[in-house]
Structure 1
Amino acid sequence: MQIKKFEARSMKEALELVKTQLGPDAVILSAKEVTKGFGLGGQKSIEITAAYSENVLQHKKYIESKMQPQVREAFTKAPARNQKETMQKSIEQKLAQMQREETRKKPMIPTTVSQRRYVDIDREDEVQAPVHQAAVSRYNDNTLSKYNPTPQLTQVAQSTFNNLEVDHLKSEIDQLKNLLGQFKQMPQGFVQAHPGAEQGVNYNLSYYYSMLTRKGLLPEVAAEILIQAQTQISPDKQNQKTVVEAYIARYILKTVPVAQENFEQFHLFMGPSGSGKTSTMVKYASDLVLNHKKRVALISTDTLKIGADEQMKIFAQILNLPFISIRSEADWFKVLPYLNQVDHVLVDFASLNLKAADELRYIQKMMPPTSDSVRTHLVLSAMSKDADLIEVHRRYQALEVSDVIFTSLDEASMHGNIYNFIQKTQAPLFAFGIGSRTPEDFERATAERVLDLILNITGSKAETGINL
């Protein structure tokens, strides 16, 4: 199954693009209205995400290549139902042609026709062999022997052969009886159930349970998706791969919480050591300045890490941004009046795991003394284990975390832990760090991106981005 995204000015034009490029069997996964720009002058468009089968699409292209230009144009403009009927007729015609060619290749056995009329024959023994009986005999001896080369057995040999085969069958039946008797004596608990059976997943969907767990999803998370699929998909369609995969894709897209557009002035970056918090903040500052033309100020409250201020000063000089180092709560009251002139203030905190109460009190003491227009980002690494991610989020909940940023997507081999995390915590995703480049490797989180990271639909590397 492949997924592709289309954008057009109206729903009719978007559906026409789906039908023209993906064929009549494309499945619509989602449709939404997109507004570009702000205010009343913003332009609106329709964005559709559709899934399609590569085999069906190739078949459609092959049929179009065999058509005349006028016929091809009419076929393209025809409704999806008519296109599907035309493709089905093409398949039937091709199968019929293959059967005719196969029939012509089979050898024909010559037949003889008697010259006497049926009314002239009085008795069966009066029917005589045709004149060319000798030719037919030669044909039977030479040609038909190729299809039945085994010499005819005598009655004694045939009887002996039958007796041997009966004895052999009796011996096999006795062996089967012995095996069944041994099987009944063995404990029946050793029989292994299909994957996902203990979670309530039926046999038809056990393949997808194995697939999702191999992608890094926890067993209970994968089972929840498939149990919902069992209730929504009829049993006769649960063996259809495209139907099940389309439902899984829609379910993941629907259950991925994404943070809304950020208009807050203060952005607080927190996280454990090794999460890439500081570099992520610098990438976000570069994105705001270079791509969105915002006025940004950088602030560091990290008094624990040696050289933290010097590193931040270098980044601020490169981006030509004001930099302030906060050492105590009193410093905030000195700088707050000057921050009204900037659009966004990005604040870097010390990298702590918050295992001790003193660490939590330290972070709370260094936070800005304002509750208005503040967004707290928890920065986590995609290389971390599921249990560690959930535990860190639990500790930072005391600081009222607004959303989550995942880094090191280019280093992780599987990304199922991202979906596990948001299903366990319901924390919305804000952005992803997918490499070391600034600001190219910083991207806002989307549900489509999470779907591609889990199922690897596009087959691309994490740092190249998603192109549905």
Structure 2
Amino acid sequence: MQIKKFEARSMKEALELVKTQLGPDAVILSAKEVTKGFGLGGEKSIEITAAYSENVLQHKKYVESKLPEHLKEKFSKAPARTQKETMQKSIESRLKLMQAEETRKKPVIPVTMTQRRYADIDNEDTVPAPVETSIKYNPTPKLTQQAQATFNNLEVDQLKSEIDQLKNLLGQFKQMPQGFVQAHPGAEHGVNYNLSSHYTALTRKGLLPEVAAEILTQAQTQLTPDKQNNKAVVEAYIARFILKTVPVAQENFEQFHLFMGPSGSGKTSTMIKYASDLVLNHKKRVALISTDTIKIGADEQMKIFAQILNLPFIAIRSEADWFKILPYLNQVDHVLVDFASLNLKAADELRYIKKMMPPTTESVRTHLVLSAMSKDADLLEVHRRYQALNVSDVVFTSLDEASMHGNIYNFVQKTGAPLFGFGIGSRTPEDFERATAERVLDLILNITGTRTESGINL
């Protein structure tokens, strides 16, 4: 058995190439979608690996060579079963011609006893030509025992040769890695072939394989096979599914808003943007508080913005400071509290955060600020650590810097944490926005383009 690969724009074209070039007995070993693209246009393509018998291929070429020109194309486009039947008939016809030729070369001439007595008994070579002969030819002669035995031996030898080649081929496959023969994308997660292209598209957007598969396996139960082949219908289903499964924090009226997160997440700048939004767009009375006693100069930036917005600013250095200022905070609508940027890898960091929290459990909302530039595993691990602080919702920053935003959807699907807002640039307060399911869908599928700091859609 020989192995050959074919690449075409569709599965139908690839299978047609296999049948045309390798004959009707070719065996498909694997089929996969090539992500690099086909040709100069960059279109996707299908790659098929097929095994074939050299004897069958030679026989097919022999049959094609004997056909008239107007029948060759018809034969090549015929179904595999029709080609096999035509090739089998060719074998039978060839054997019959061989038998007929053998019979014509050695005709049987019966001699009557009357004719025999005129012959010279002592010299067999002088038998005169018979007066009457009866030469009978069978228009459809049967195979002689010798011809039949020869034909059977040829078939047996051919089968033995092909079996040996298959054994050798299987032995080679056992030595290859298990992933050598690949199924279509998503098959290992239960996604059928009709939706495999959508699975690839979603994973390229940053969705985890199991998250993308969850969307498409649900589509398989809701859409008929005909609708699954309709790209627009499937894309509309995916959009509706994402919109329904994105948890968003409801409008809140809590007085205390605590901003926490790991280092580099943009926590402090996000709090300042939110304060500006409350003051300028919603006409709220806001107070800013910093509890960060670890980072040197952490209060300076906040003091500057507090002066620009004409807001009260307070630095908390111990738990006792809270009791001194709590009576004065009743005069404002919202109190925004900034905490030190910690990854909470050590137990003393968690104790420090708890010690600096306001001594009240009423009207408190804790925002976990994360960067959209972070990996899925890192986001989930940070959320697990901060769960001890009763995180209420999540704010994602650096949306303008991230090239893909599938990790946002992965995060909410894995944790169930609702989204509170997004930081999309460095401007204040324009680059802070409240989270919506529609915005998440736009970020993943890039429907309207990604907004940059200048506000231009790409």
Output the TM-score relative to the length of structure 1.
Answer: 0.61
Aligned residue among 390, 397, 404 for 1:407 = 397
- Asked whether the equivalents of residues 400 and 450 of structure 2 are also in contact (C-alpha less than 8 Å), the reply is no
Does 2:305 match 1:322?
no
- Asked whether the equivalents of residues 273 and 432 of structure 2 are also in contact (C-alpha less than 8 Å), the reply is yes
Q: Aligned residue for 1:435?
A: 425
Counterpart amino acid of residue 193 in structure 2: Y
Distance 1:428 1:312 in 2: 27
Secondary structure of 2:351's counterpart equals helix
Per chain length, whose mean CA-contact separation is higher, i.e. which structure has more relative contact order (CA < 8 Å, sep 6+)? 1
Aligned residue among 331, 353, 372 for 1:363 = 353
Counterpart amino acid of residue 331 in structure 2: Q
- Asked whether the equivalents of residues 302 and 349 of structure 1 are also in contact (C-alpha less than 8 Å), the reply is yes
Secondary structure of 2:341's counterpart equals coil
Aligned residue among 169, 177, 186 for 1:186 = 169
Distance 1:179 1:297 in 2: 84
Q: Aligned residue for 2:447?
A: 457
Q: Aligned residue for 2:327?
A: 337
Secondary structure of 2:183's counterpart equals coil
Measured after TM superposition, the shift of residue 186 of structure 1 is 2.5
- Asked whether the equivalents of residues 287 and 334 of structure 2 are also in contact (C-alpha less than 8 Å), the reply is yes
Counterpart amino acid of residue 169 in structure 2: M
Q: Aligned residue for 1:28?
A: none
Q: Aligned residue for 2:196?
A: 206
Q: Aligned residue for 1:230?
A: 220
Counterpart amino acid of residue 444 in structure 2: I
Secondary structure of 2:361's counterpart equals coil
Distance 1:427 1:314 in 2: 33
Does 2:340 match 1:350?
yes
Measured after TM superposition, the shift of residue 461 of structure 1 is 3.1
Q: Aligned residue for 2:301?
A: 311
CA deviation vs aligned residue, 1:85-135 (integer Å, no higher than 9, x gap):
xxxxxxxxxxxxxxxxxxxxxxxxxxxxxxxxxxxxxxxxxxxxxxxxxxx
Q: Aligned residue for 1:300?
A: 290
- Asked whether the equivalents of residues 453 and 462 of structure 1 are also in contact (C-alpha less than 8 Å), the reply is no
Secondary structure of 1:353's counterpart equals coil
- Asked whether the equivalents of residues 458 and 466 of structure 1 are also in contact (C-alpha less than 8 Å), the reply is no
Secondary structure of 1:186's counterpart equals helix
**Alpha carbons of 1:337 and 1:225: their partners in 2 closer, same or farther (altered >3 Å)?**
same
Does 2:409 match 1:419?
yes
**Alpha carbons of 1:204 and 1:183: their partners in 2 closer, same or farther (altered >3 Å)?**
farther
Counterpart amino acid of residue 246 in structure 1: A
Q: Aligned residue for 2:230?
A: 240
- Asked whether the equivalents of residues 449 and 466 of structure 1 are also in contact (C-alpha less than 8 Å), the reply is no
Secondary structure of 1:264's counterpart equals coil
Distance 1:249 1:224 in 2: 14
Measured after TM superposition, the shift of residue 192 of structure 1 is 1.4
**Alpha carbons of 1:424 and 1:298: their partners in 2 closer, same or farther (altered >3 Å)?**
same
Does 2:243 match 1:260?
no
% identity of equivalent residues = 83
Measured after TM superposition, the shift of residue 459 of structure 1 is 2.8
- Asked whether the equivalents of residues 349 and 363 of structure 1 are also in contact (C-alpha less than 8 Å), the reply is yes
Aligned residue among 282, 291, 299 for 2:281 = 291
> Which blocks of at least 5 consecutive residues in structure 2 are unaligned?
1-64, 77-82, 92-157
Distance 1:444 1:282 in 2: 14
Distance 2:185 2:285 in 1: 54
Distance 1:410 1:228 in 2: 31
- Asked whether the equivalents of residues 366 and 392 of structure 2 are also in contact (C-alpha less than 8 Å), the reply is yes
Does 2:257 match 1:277?
no
> Which blocks of at least 5 consecutive residues in structure 1 are unaligned?
1-160
**Alpha carbons of 1:287 and 1:237: their partners in 2 closer, same or farther (altered >3 Å)?**
same
Distance 1:180 1:460 in 2: 59
Secondary structure of 2:258's counterpart equals strand
Secondary structure of 1:193's counterpart equals coil
Give the 4+ runs in structure 1 shifted more than 2 A.
161-170, 176-191, 459-467
CA deviation vs aligned residue, 1:172-192 (integer Å, no higher than 9, x gap):
x89x99999846753376431
Structure number with bigger Rg: 2
CA deviation vs aligned residue, 1:277-320 (integer Å, no higher than 9, x gap):
00000000000000000000000000000001222111111111
Secondary structure of 1:372's counterpart equals coil
RMSD, matched Cα: 2.8
Counterpart amino acid of residue 319 in structure 1: L
Distance 2:165 2:441 in 1: 49
Counterpart amino acid of residue 237 in structure 2: Y
Distance 2:396 2:438 in 1: 15
Output the TM-score relative to the length of structure 2.
Answer: 0.63
CA deviation vs aligned residue, 1:239-264 (integer Å, no higher than 9, x gap):
00111001000000000000000200
Counterpart amino acid of residue 453 in structure 1: L
Give the number of aligned pairs.
304
